[in-house]
């Protein structure tokens, strides 16, 4: 999944599920801690996100980049510097 708008939609839905909220209640610029996202849920989201986008995105990244939009920007940065599959097969 590389389309950033699809990733955003998926991420907002996952956060909403973990927080028992509606997706439209999650503002992309609001720090996730303000919604009460705890470390257990943060770890789960980080793991799912890593699997979904194919880059290593751990709990520390989720805490440091603490809103949906900041997380998406970081994913784009990590995707740009991640080695391609052709590079890893050499």
Q: What is the CATH number of the domain that holds 62?
A: 1.10.1200.10
> Structure pTM?
0.81
User: How much is the CA Rg of the chain, to the nearest whole Å?
Assistant: 13
Residue 83 lies in a domain: no
> Which pLDDT value is given to residue 62?
86
Residue 62 lies in a domain: yes
| Number of compact structural domains in the chain | 1
Residue 9 lies in a domain: yes
> Which pLDDT value is given to residue 82?
57
Residue 87 lies in a domain: no
> Which pLDDT value is given to residue 73?
93
Look up the domain containing 52 and give its range: 4-78
CB-based contacts of 81: which residues, under 8 Å, 6+ apart?
Answer: none
* Residues of the chain below pLDDT 70: 1-2, 81-90
Residue 90 lies in a domain: no
């Amino acid at each position: 999944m590389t389309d950033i708008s699809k990733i955003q939609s998926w991420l907002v839905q996952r956060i909403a599920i973990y927080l028992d909220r509606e997706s439209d209640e999650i503002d992309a610029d609001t720090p996730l801690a303000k919604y009460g996202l705890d470390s257990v849920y943060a770890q789960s989201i980080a793991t799912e996100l890593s699997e979904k986008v194919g880059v290593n995105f751990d709990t520390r990244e989720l805490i440091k980049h603490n809103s949906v939009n900041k997380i998406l920007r970081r994913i784009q940065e990590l995707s740009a510097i991640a080695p391609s599959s052709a590079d890893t097969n050499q």
